[in-house]
Amino acid sequence: MTATINTEPLEVCPLCGTDDILYPSVAKEYRAEIELLNRAADLQAENERLRDAAQFAYRKHHLDDPNIGWDELSDILYTALCESMGDNEFVKWIEAAKGSK
């Protein structure tokens, strides 16, 4: 009788961070659910970044907050838009906005 050892690399569970020997079989069963949860977390983080940028813009434009500089606001908006749209889409959007003047 010969014993064989599974030499496949273990996957790390995205929920608990362990590389439990049972995770690969569990992951196959729940992979879609795990991906949806991860996507929901990513969307929530993106929503928070965009909300924060909008709040900074409102404070500067409508409340004339002296604690926020125009360059700082520009950087905040640029970063939020690039993270949300992606760099390439942001560049296309800027080009279109400049062309519509």
Does any domain span residue 17? Answer: no
Binning pLDDT at 50, 70 and 90, where does residue 100 land? confident
Per-residue pLDDT, 32: 78
Per-residue pLDDT, 76: 96
**Which of the two residues, 99 and 24, has the higher pLDDT score?**
99
Does any domain span residue 12? Answer: no
Does any domain span residue 2? Answer: no
Q: What is the number of domains present in the chain? A: 1
Count other C-beta atoms under 10 Å from residue 15's C-beta: 13
Question: What are the two backbone dihedrals, phi and then psi, of residue 68, each rounded to the nearest 5 degrees?
Answer: -115, 120
| Closest to 83 (Cα-Cα) out of 51, 35, 38 | 51
Does any domain span residue 13? Answer: no
Q: What tokens does 3 get?
A: 């014993």
Does any domain span residue 37? Answer: yes
59 within 8 A of 68, measured Cβ to Cβ = yes
Q: Which amino acid is at 100?
A: S
Q: What tokens does 17 get?
A: 């961070």
Give residue 30's domain range: 23-94
pTM: 0.64
Q: What is the mean pLDDT of residues 72-89?
A: 94
What pLDDT digit, counting tens, does each position of 13-47 carry?
A: 666 666 555 555 666 667 778 888 889 999 999 99
Per-residue pLDDT, 83: 92
| Phi and psi based region of residue 86 (left: phi greater than 0; alpha: psi -120 to 50; beta: remaining) | left
Per-residue pLDDT, 38: 87
Q: Is the dihedral of CA 42, 44, 48, 51 positive or negative?
A: positive
Does any domain span residue 56? Answer: yes
Does any domain span residue 65? Answer: yes
What pLDDT digit, counting tens, does each position of 44-66 carry?
A: 999 999 999 999 999 999 999 99
